[in-house]
Amino acid sequence: MSSNLHLTILGCYAAAPGSYKNPTSQVLEIRNNLFLIDCGEGTQVALRRNKIKFARIKHIFISHLHGDHFFGLMGVITTFSLLKRTAPLTIYGPKGIKELILLQLKLTKGFTSYPLHFREITSKESEVILENEEITVTTIPLKHRIYTNGFYFEEKLGERKLDITACLKLDIDRAYYNKIKQGGDITLDNGTVVKNEQLTFDPPQPKSYAYCSDTAYYEEIVSQIQGATALYHEATFLESHAHLCKPTGHSTAAQAAQIAAMAGVKNLILGHYSVRYGDLQEFIKEAAPYFENVHLGDDGKNFTF
Ligand SMILES: [Zn+2]
């Protein structure tokens, strides 16, 4: 069964935090899994403010080791312990993340009340880093100043939907409904075989979410995120500062929109704005000529797809 994707942006600004501008972090709910993606400074405060239950977070994904994407991690890990958490927590991130956290725990004589696992990523190729019955999470190698991965969260194809009218018409016993939903054919008492397609509808199209931050304009990601339900793509700069994209490994709003258009995604969410800009509407204006369905990410904003 397909359900909605629900995204809460906790922070979507680049570099140093401002009074009302949080560095990067967001929470994705997909098929009852709650994932924390990046963990900039102030993330635990933003989690509280957005009323997200800490205990539901079992996996944290860190795109790269720039401070505005992970300086909040130590605080989150420590608070989970103060809350006497017992459920395991797994952190996915570039090689080095384990050393960074364990060193801080060691020097502060800290410990966790729960099993803390690390899955360090080193591959330059896309790879599956988490899979369960409902979803798959795959890395999206990005182009930035240091080793960086985006993440692709994808629902698995659900069961077929029962055509209840057809089943009742043929007087099929309820005991077979599960078998039918799983794709099985049915043999009636008179020996007639009824094909599954006559008893079911196609399952809903699986939904997917592509998180791409931080990155320069990078067409290599297009094939991997093709047709995604939603793409979050960084848009650090407006055209007026396009010359800064190359040295910093970032993108403009227009470039994010071009990637979205090429990939044929259904929705584009912009974020990771440089704090130098006051009016975010300018980002929409510059993206709109290239891609129609563009949304402004902003701290505390929720999206349901
Ligand atoms: Zn960065």
Ligand 1 centroid–CA 147 distance in Å is 9
Ligand 1 centroid–CA 145 distance in Å is 7
Ligand 1 centroid–CA 274 distance in Å is 12
**What pLDDT does 148 receive?**
98
Mean local confidence (pLDDT), 228-240: 98
Ligand 1 centroid–CA 272 distance in Å is 9
pLDDT in tens, 193-208: 999 999 999 988 899 9
| pTM for the full predicted model | 0.91
Residues within 5 A (CB) of ion ligand 1: 66, 214
pLDDT in tens, 45-89: 999 999 999 999 999 999 999 999 999 999 999 999 999 999 999
Name the phi and psi angles at 49, rounded to 5. Answer: -60, -35
Phi-psi region of 263 (alpha: psi -120 to 50; beta: other; left: phi over 0): alpha
Mean of the per-residue pLDDT values of the chain: 95
pLDDT in tens, 87-134: 999 999 999 999 999 999 999 999 999 999 999 999 999 999 999 999
Helix, strand, or coil (residue 200): strand
State yes or no: pLDDT of 175 exceeds 60: yes
Ligand 1 centroid–CA 75 distance in Å is 20
* Spatial distance between the Cα atoms of 86 and 55, rounded to a whole number of angstroms: 9
From residue 208, give the alpha-carbon distance in Å to each of 31, 62, 70, 141, 218.
11, 18, 24, 17, 20
Ligand 1 centroid–CA 268 distance in Å is 20
pLDDT in tens, 17-33: 777 789 999 999 999 99
- Asked if the bond preceding 189 is cis, omega within 30° of 0, the reply is no
Ligand 1 centroid–CA 243 distance in Å is 17
185 is catalytic: no
From residue 224, give the alpha-carbon distance in Å to each of 36, 141, 158, 231.
21, 10, 21, 11
Q: Write down the catalytic residue from 68, 214, 298, 299.
A: 68
